Amino acid sequence: MVGSLSSPPPGAAPDWTVPQDWPRYTAEEHALWDDLFARQAALLPGRVAPAFLAGLDMLRLSRPGIPDFSELNERLFAATRWTVVAVPGLVPDAVFFEHLANRRFVAGRFLRTRAQIDYLEEPDIFHDVFGHVPLLADPVFADYMQAYGEGGLRSMRFGALHKLARLYWYTVEFGLLRDGGDLKLYGAGIVSSRTESLFARDDPSPNRLGFDLLRLMRTNYRIDDFQETYFVIDSFEDLLRQTIETDFEPLYAALETLDDLAPADVLAEDLVLHRGDQSYARGRRPA
Ligand SMILES: [Fe+2]
């Protein structure tokens, strides 16, 4: 969650964290969490990366009610030395990256309302904890998230943050994973959404293209609707290796000379796993 304010709001620590204040959640909020959890738990097996289900299980996220971060962190820290910290809302880029680089995941502490059950603009605790935290219990993905935070801090020195942000978007938020001949979901924006869990993997509309770092960092994305293209990684190991072994400075320089691509573009050199018919996207645009 990244915003443009420069100093923490009243009540927040200098690193923008706040107490989760778990006792403040209402019975209705705990019940809504349980309903959101039950919907995704029914939908995801067979569709989601096995590591995600393993993380849910290891962190005991299936227990009723909104998780208490202090309990959650005991298990998460024991697994991968990550912790979840609460923040009051959007945080500046540098704060976000600094937390990631130190294996702290910033999470919203508020829960959506029942009226927002299928869509809300700002990430809430269900998106942040159900969507993101299970994979932080996976040792390889956990290292990738730290590497991303370190890369984020570096990218700010090159004025390339908006390019690197696309890597987060198309992996951490909206990534797909190849699993034998099958595709599995792992992006938090997908797995925390009932409708996108179905759309991203099973709908004929979007493109599904092989992961290519440079190509992906040229590609604009949709912030307010389903993606028109999803990028598919071979494995978390490969994603981590490419992120650690790539020198991003020449990539950023190369990106300066290349035009950005529209979300639905398909290039001759793309590895096309599925060429989307974009029927959904066309139906959403004014004629
Ligand atoms: Fe997210």
Whole-prediction pTM value? 0.95
Query: What pairs with residue 229 in β-bridges?
Result: 207
Ligand 1 centroid, distance to 168 Cα (angstroms): 9
Ligand 1 centroid, distance to 85 Cα (angstroms): 14
CB 109 within 8 A of CB 21: yes
Ligand 1 centroid, distance to 110 Cα (angstroms): 14
Instruction: Show the tokens assigned to 92.
Output: 């500046």
Res 93: pLDDT = 94
Ligand 1 centroid, distance to 222 Cα (angstroms): 14
- Crossing angle, helix 93-101 and helix 139-157, to 10 degrees? 140
pLDDT, tens digit (0-9, with 9 covering 90-100), for 119-131: 788 899 999 999 9
Q: Would you say residue 3 has pLDDT above 80?
A: no
Ligand 1 centroid, distance to 118 Cα (angstroms): 15
Q: How far apart are the first and last CA of the chain?
A: 33
The string of DSSP letters for 140-172 reads HHHHHHHHHHHHHHHHHHTT-HHHHHHHHIIII
CB 130 within 8 A of CB 62: no
Average pLDDT over residues 169-197: 96
CA angle 127, 230, 67 (to 5 degrees): 15
pLDDT confidence band for 85 (50 / 70 / 90): very high
Ligand 1 centroid, distance to 123 Cα (angstroms): 6
Q: Whose structure tokens read 């398909």?
A: 266
Res 126: pLDDT = 97
Average pLDDT over residues 18-27: 97
Ligand 1 centroid, distance to 287 Cα (angstroms): 32
H/E element, 95: helix 93-101
CB 29 within 8 A of CB 110: no
Res 120: pLDDT = 81
pLDDT confidence band for 183 (50 / 70 / 90): very high
Q: How far is it between the farthest Cα atoms of the chain? A: 55
Res 118: pLDDT = 84
Average pLDDT over residues 36-65: 97
Ligand 1 centroid, distance to 89 Cα (angstroms): 12
CB atoms within 10 A of CB 50: 13
Average pLDDT over residues 13-24: 97
Q: Would you say residue 285 has pLDDT above 90?
A: no
Res 6: pLDDT = 76
Res 122: pLDDT = 87
CB atoms within 10 A of CB 6: 8
pLDDT confidence band for 261 (50 / 70 / 90): very high
Ligand 1 centroid, distance to 224 Cα (angstroms): 14
pLDDT, tens digit (0-9, with 9 covering 90-100), for 132-153: 999 999 999 999 999 999 999 9
Average pLDDT over residues 282-287: 78
Ligand 1 centroid, distance to 268 Cα (angstroms): 31
Query: Which amino acid type is present at position 25?
Result: Y
Ligand 1 centroid, distance to 173 Cα (angstroms): 6
Ligand 1 centroid, distance to 132 Cα (angstroms): 7
CB 110 within 8 A of CB 87: no
Average pLDDT over residues 67-81: 98
